[in-house]
C-alpha cells in the first residue's frame, strides 16, 4: 500500500509541475497566466531575448515568438489615474502581441484584468483574457524601451 501511495505522490508531483511549468532554465518569467479555455500565455526574459508563447498545456504552443530584447517595449504606469497598467509588447512582423496587466485601484471588487491584445497592422484582431487565477506578473519596472 505504501508503494502505491509513494508512486501516486510522485505522479501527482510530476503532473502538477508540468501544468505550471516555468520559462526555460536561464530565463525569467515576465508574465504567465491561464485562459478560461485552458491555454497558457507566457512571456520569458532570457537576458538577450524575449519570448512569447501561447497554447494549450501539454501540447506544442500554437504561437512562439523569440525576438532580440531590444525589439521588445513596455508601457509602465506613470502613477496618474485609477488604472494601474503595465504591458510588454512583442512585435512579429506586422503583428504585435501586447501582454497586459491592469488593476483598478478604486474598484471595490479588486479584479485584475490581464491577457494579450493581438494587433495586426495597428488594429486589434483579438484580445485573450486570463482566467483571473494563477497570474504571474513581473512587468512592473522591467528594463525595456518605452512603447512609442
Q: Tens of pLDDT along 35-91? A: 999 999 999 999 999 999 999 988 999 999 999 999 999 999 998 988 999 999 999
Give the per-residue pLDDT at 56.
93
pTM: 0.82
Rounded Cα distance, 87 and 131, in Å: 17
Of 28, 142, 23, nearest to 87 by C-alpha is: 142
Q: Nine-digit cell at 134?
A: 494563477
Q: Tens of pLDDT along 78-101? A: 989 889 999 999 999 999 999 999
Amino acid at each position: 500500500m505504501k508503494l502505491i501511495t509513494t508512486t501516486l505522490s510522485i505522479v501527482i508531483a510530476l503532473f502538477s509541475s508540468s501544468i505550471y511549468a516555468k520559462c526555460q532554465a536561464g530565463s525569467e518569467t515576465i508574465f504567465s497566466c491561464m485562459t478560461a479555455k485552458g491555454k497558457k500565455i507566457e512571456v520569458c526574459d532570457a537576458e538577450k531575448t524575449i519570448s512569447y508563447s501561447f497554447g494549450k498545456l501539454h501540447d506544442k504552443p500554437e504561437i512562439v515568438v523569440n525576438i532580440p530584447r531590444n525589439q521588445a517595449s513596455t508601457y509602465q504606469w506613470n502613477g496618474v489615474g485609477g488604472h494601474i497598467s503595465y504591458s510588454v509588447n512583442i512585435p512579429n512582423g506586422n503583428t504585435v502581441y501586447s501582454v497586459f496587466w491592469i488593476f483598478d485601484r478604486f474598484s471595490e471588487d479588486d479584479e485584475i484584468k490581464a491577457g494579450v491584445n493581438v494587433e495586426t497592422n495597428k488594429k486589434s484582431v483579438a484580445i485573450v483574457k486570463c482566467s483571473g487565477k494563477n497570474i504571474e506578473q513581473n512587468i512592473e519596472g522591467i528594463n525595456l524601451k518605452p512603447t512609442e
